[in-house]
Every structure is written in structure tokens, then in C-alpha cells.
Structure 1
Amino acid sequence: MRQERQPCVYILASGHYGTLYIGVTSNLIGRLWQHRNDVLPGFTSRYEVHRLVHFEMFGDMLRAIAREKQLKRWHRQWKINLVNAANPEWRDLAVGLGLPSLAQGKPTNGP
């Protein structure tokens, strides 16, 4: 079965009020799996930024990319306010999407 693509902007955090990362993808579950397993070297693997604290779905990739660019220009406090508005406990929203809790360790198989 082929997974349908859904443009999405997401914010990852290293912890409550921790280091933030903003990204865009058309496959949120697959991209989260890559981040959580440090598949690609870079910022999120270096600073252990794996907790999904905010995401927004879009109808097309152009709008998602525009929103990603907008959020990346925002001051840190504005980003924190955005997360706090919908997720004040900074829960890992990936668990609600079917991924295991980060406390369970890193999975070894793909999404």
C-alpha cells in the first residue's frame, strides 16, 4: 500500500523549552522516524532534537514551505508561544501518531 503524501510543517524540541528545530515534509511519520533514529547527520542528531511538539498540515507543499520559512524567521519566544498555545506540556505528539515513546529507546526498523 502506498502512503499518501501530506505536506506538513513541524517543530521538534530536545525537551521542555529546549532546542527547537523547524522542518517541512510530505511524509511526517517517515521524517520523524529519520530524526528519531539519527539517520541523517545534522542538527537534530547533534543536539538530540527528537520530540514532536507542534505540527501543521497543508493542502499543498508551496503553502507548507512558505509557513516553514515564516516560522524560521520568528523570534524564539514566538515559537515557544506557538507550542504553548496547543501543547503547554510539550508532550511528544508523535506518540499520538503511532510512534513509540522516546523513553522506550530508539526503534531499529523503519516506519
Structure 2
Amino acid sequence: MKRFIYIITDRNRNNLHVGLSSDLLKTLEFYKQMPTLFFDSAQQLTRLVYFEEINSEEMAMERFKFVSTFTRMQKERMIRAVNKEWVDLTIGLSQEGNTRVRPQLRPSISPRRAVTF
């Protein structure tokens, strides 16, 4: 099962929160629904600035523990390595989640109408 390590921040980049999730879109939706759960309303965690997808639960937990021990400067370097402008990655992630692979289409078979004179 896939796991995600993510870093989410507020609009002013004051807080960097590291998290672990199995469903990143659902977790981000939770942050939007409960904006003042961790901080006051001025520091709402709304911007996903970094995430990693890991296939193993054990490896994800180890990586989460490791990243959680980082200093702020180390987290900022990690974010800037992949997201220099600190763009909110939620938009692209939700668009990717909404796309579906279209099944192979077959031509439609419509009954022919009989022409009578």
C-alpha cells in the first residue's frame, strides 16, 4: 500500500508540518475542513509544498521519523530542491486524481431504422 510523506505550511511559511498519510487527497481535505485544529486561524496549514510517495509502510514510517527530526533549514532545503517557488502542489495533485484512464472504446452499434415507402 502506498504511503505519502508530506510537508504542509501556511501562507506565510511560518510553520512547516511533516505528516504521513495513506490517502494524501483525503488528508489535505481534512486540513481544509479543520483549519484551526493545530494552529489559530492566522496560521492555517493550507499549502502542500512537498511530498514523497513510498510503496512500503515500514520504509514510509522510517522516512517519516527521519524527516521529522530535521531542522527548519534542512526542511527548507528539501522543499527548495523540488519546489523552488513554494507553489501549492494541491492543485496539480487533485487534477491528477480526477483523471481516469479511459476504457477502450468500441464503436457503438445502433439499430438501423427500416425505411418504408
For Structure 1 versus Structure 2, the TM-score category normalised by the shorter chain is: 0.7 to 0.9
- Aligned-residue CA RMSD (Å): 2.2
* 1:9 maps onto 2:2 in alignment: no
Equivalent residue number for residue 72 of structure 1 = 68
% identical aligned pairs: 28
Whether contact under 8 Å (1:51, 1:94) holds in the other structure is yes
Gaps of 5+ in 1: 100-111
Distance 1:79 1:57 in 2: 17
SS at match of 2:34: coil
Whether contact under 8 Å (1:44, 1:50) holds in the other structure is no
Per-residue Cα deviation, 1:9-58 (whole angstroms, up to 9, x for no partner): 00001135431000001000100100122178334878311100000000
Matches within 5 A, 1:23-38: 23-38=19-34
After alignment, is 19-28 or 45-54 more displaced? 45-54
Q: Whose RCO is larger (CA < 8 A, sep 6+)?
A: 1
Equivalent residue number for residue 55 of structure 1 = 51
- TM-superposed CA distance for 1:7, in Å, is 0.5
Distance 1:85 1:40 in 2: 29
Whether contact under 8 Å (1:9, 1:24) holds in the other structure is yes
Distance 2:60 2:41 in 1: 23
TM-score by length of 2: 0.72
Which 4+ stretches in 1 moved above 6 angstroms?
none
After alignment, is 69-78 or 9-18 more displaced? 9-18
Gaps of 5+ in 2: 96-117
The alignment of Structure 1 onto Structure 2 pairs a total of residues equal to 95
Does the C-alpha gap of structure 1 residues 39 and 18 become closer, same or farther in structure 2, counting only changes over 3 Å? closer
TM-score by length of 1: 0.75
Does the C-alpha gap of structure 1 residues 37 and 68 become closer, same or farther in structure 2, counting only changes over 3 Å? same
